């Protein structure tokens, strides 16, 4: 029988508790939690107090702990924990997309320098197996595009806005109560969280390693009742869509809300579910859907990484090592709908305008604009402006 793996877990919030639950309901994995490091010792916990410590070193310096599982909601502390664990040659599993996206290069180097695996399936779309699929199944240059709904919390909010007529803040509060939202919900609603996931996907899909600021993100926080009504009148809903696509040897990426026809596959992705459409030169479209948030679904992806470590799995970063020579570009034209009240978008920023509408309390235009230009527009910062991609885009 293979040796039992001892786990040192950091964090016992939504995902930490999810991992505890799923680990205790499977007999297929020979792993046990030895210690859990948390921040607030005074909090009441649902399991035996002897599990807990507030000392990182109790886990990091314990020679019996083979795998460190990082499930905290702080970025700097998480990077310190993951770096020290890798330096001590302890394999690491993490769900922390922000920490990974902001430190990708350093984390790659640590894995190579210390020849130690670092797995993070749960960081992208929680329960959907994305990264291992990109690494193992789509391990060649025939993949052309990955797009989808990568954030459970905003999708939950949008579903409630469209299907139940809830107000934005009410829907956000429900998402928070159910553990779907990040501790800082602006990461979700401003489209940062799905952008971090897109950054990770770009590495495994196309071998392109970027910094978060390189990718344009626009959130759903400014959507007004009038925008929802406009979408409904067109038989559309609005989804926060992250996309990366290869055209010849150039790859573009963005995360922007988009009008989606009610019959569209992405519109079938509701509540906290995430959905991903992969497109290959010959395989054409494939669609993956699954819970993109919540303790148990995320815990099950963490468990799958722990299980993968039992057979020495590690990411080979195949696309990076294939030297595909793809170039990241923001030089693409997008067709966007912009609604506004306090400020008017500068029409000179657009290549063309096809619709301009003004009525009391509701102004909007539809026009074509270069993505690189859009990223720099000052009027985007106004809180009465909302931008939604039309359906006429790549």
Ligand X SMILES: NC(=O)c1ccc[n+]([C@@H]2O[C@H](COP(=O)([O-])OP(=O)(O)OC[C@H]3O[C@@H](n4cnc5c(N)ncnc54)[C@H](OP(=O)(O)O)[C@@H]3O)[C@@H](O)[C@H]2O)c1
The residues with which 243 forms a beta bridge, in sequence order, are 147, 254
Q: How near is the Cβ of 223 to ligand X at its closest, in Å?
A: 22
In the complex with ligand X, which residue's Cβ is closer, 181 or 369? 181
Q: How near is the Cβ of 124 to ligand X at its closest, in Å?
A: 9
Under the criterion CB under 6 A, does residue 102 sit at the interface with ligand X?
no
Under the criterion CB under 6 A, does residue 72 sit at the interface with ligand X?
yes
Contact assessment for residue 283 and residue 142, using Cβ atoms and an 8 Å cutoff: yes
Phi, psi values for residue 212, rounded to 5°: -50, -40
In the complex with ligand X, which residue's Cβ is closer, 210 or 301? 301
Q: Which of 69, 84, 96, 390 binds ligand X (CB under 6 A)?
A: 96
The residues with which 149 forms a beta bridge, in sequence order, are 275
Instruction: Please tell me whether residue 341 adopts helix, strand or coil conformation.
Output: coil
Question: Footprint of ligand X on residues 116-175 (CB under 6 A)?
Answer: 122, 126
Name the one range near ligand X by CB under 6 A: 24-32, 39-47, 197-205, 226-234. 39-47
In the complex with ligand X, which residue's Cβ is closer, 267 or 296? 296
Q: How near is the Cβ of 17 to ligand X at its closest, in Å?
A: 8
Site string for ligand X, 289-318 (x = CB under 6 A): ----xx---x--------------------
Which of 67, 3, 73 shows the shortest CA–CA distance to 35? 67
Under the criterion CB under 6 A, does residue 95 sit at the interface with ligand X?
yes
Under the criterion CB under 6 A, does residue 27 sit at the interface with ligand X?
no
Site string for ligand X, 355-394 (x = CB under 6 A): ----------------------------------------
Q: Which of 197, 239, 291, 319 is catalytic?
A: 197
Q: How many residues bind ligand X (CB under 6 A)?
A: 29
In the complex with ligand X, which residue's Cβ is closer, 20 or 350? 20
Instruction: Please tell me whether residue 285 adopts helix, strand or coil conformation.
Output: strand
Burial of 71-101, coded b for 16+ CB within 10 Å and e otherwise, reads bbbbbebbbebbbbbbeeebbbbbbbbbbbb
> Looking at beta carbons, which residue is closest to ligand X?
13
Which of 303, 220, 203, 204 shows the shortest CA–CA distance to 259? 220
Q: Say which residues have a Cβ less than 8 Å from residue 380's Cβ, sequence separation at least 6.
A: 218, 374, 387
Q: What are the E-state strand segments in 115-231?
A: 118-119, 143-149, 216-217
Distance, CA of 63 to CA of 341 (rounded, Å): 61
Q: How near is the Cβ of 347 to ligand X at its closest, in Å?
A: 39
Q: What secondary structure letter does DSSP report for 230?
A: H
> How many whole angstroms from its chain centre is CA 106?
20
Q: Which of 43, 164, 167, 232 binds ligand X (CB under 6 A)?
A: 43
Q: How near is the Cβ of 24 to ligand X at its closest, in Å?
A: 17
The vertex-93 CA angle with 14 and 12, nearest 5°, equals: 25
Establish whether 197 is a catalytic residue: yes
Enclosing H/E stretch for 357: strand 352-359
Under the criterion CB under 6 A, does residue 183 sit at the interface with ligand X?
yes
Contact assessment for residue 97 and residue 201, using Cβ atoms and an 8 Å cutoff: no
Contact assessment for residue 216 and residue 254, using Cβ atoms and an 8 Å cutoff: yes
In the complex with ligand X, which residue's Cβ is closer, 66 or 73? 73
Q: How near is the Cβ of 240 to ligand X at its closest, in Å?
A: 16
In the complex with ligand X, which residue's Cβ is closer, 293 or 309? 293
Tell me which residues are annotated as active site: 197
Q: Using CB under 6 A as the criterion, which residues of the chain lie in contact with ligand X when the complex forms?
A: 10-16, 37-40, 43, 71-74, 77, 95-97, 122, 126, 179-180, 182-183, 293-294, 298
């Amino acid at each position: 029988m293979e040796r039992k793996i001892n786990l040192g877990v950091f964090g016992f919030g939504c995902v930490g508790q999810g991992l505890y639950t799923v680990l205790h309901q499977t007999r297929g994995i020979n792993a046990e939690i030895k210690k859990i490091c948390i921040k607030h010792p005074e909090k009441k916990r649902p399991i035996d107090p002897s599990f807990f410590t507030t000392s990182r070193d109790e886990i990091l310096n314990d020679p019996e702990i083979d795998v460190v599982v990082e499930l905290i909601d702080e970025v700097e502390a998480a990077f310190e924990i993951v770096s020290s664990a890798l330096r001590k040659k302890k394999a690491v599993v993490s769900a922390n997309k922000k920490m990974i996206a902001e430190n990708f290069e350093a984390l790659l180097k640590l894995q190579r320098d210390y020849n130690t695996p670092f797995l993070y399936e749960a960081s992208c779309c929680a329960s959907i197996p994305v990264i291992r699929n990109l690494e193992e199944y789509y391990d060649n240059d025939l993949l052309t595009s990955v797009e989808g709904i990568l954030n459970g919390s905003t999708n939950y909010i949008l579903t409630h806005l469209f299907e139940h007529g809830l107000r934005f803040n009410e829907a956000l509060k429900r998402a928070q109560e159910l553990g779907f939202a990040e501790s800082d919900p602006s990461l979700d609603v401003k489209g940062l969280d799905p952008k971090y996931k897109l950054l990770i996907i770009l590495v495994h899909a196309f071998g392109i390693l970027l910094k978060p600021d390189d990718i344009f993100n626009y959130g759903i926080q400014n959507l007004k009742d009038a925008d929802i009504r406009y979408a409904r009148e067109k038989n559309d809903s609005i989804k926060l869509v992250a996309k990366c696509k290869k055209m010849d040897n150039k790859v573009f990426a963005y995360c922007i809300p988009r009008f989606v026809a009610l019959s569209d596959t992405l519109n079938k992705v509701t509540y906290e579910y995430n959905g991903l459409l992969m497109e290959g030169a010959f395989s054409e479209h494939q669609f993956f859907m699954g819970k993109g948030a919540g303790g148990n679904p995320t815990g099950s992806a963490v468990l799958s990484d722990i299980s993968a470590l039992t057979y020495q799995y590690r990411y080979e970063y195949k696309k990076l090592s294939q030297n595909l020579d793809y170039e990241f570009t923001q030089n693409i034209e997008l067709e966007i709908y912009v609604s506004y009240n306090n400020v008017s978008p500068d029409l000179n920023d657009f290549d063309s305008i096809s619709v301009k509408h003004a009525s009391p309390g509701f102004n909007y235009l539809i026009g074509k604009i270069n993505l690189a230009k859009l990223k720099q527009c000052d009027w985007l910062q106004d809180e009465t402006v909302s931008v939604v991609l039309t359906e006429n885009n790549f």
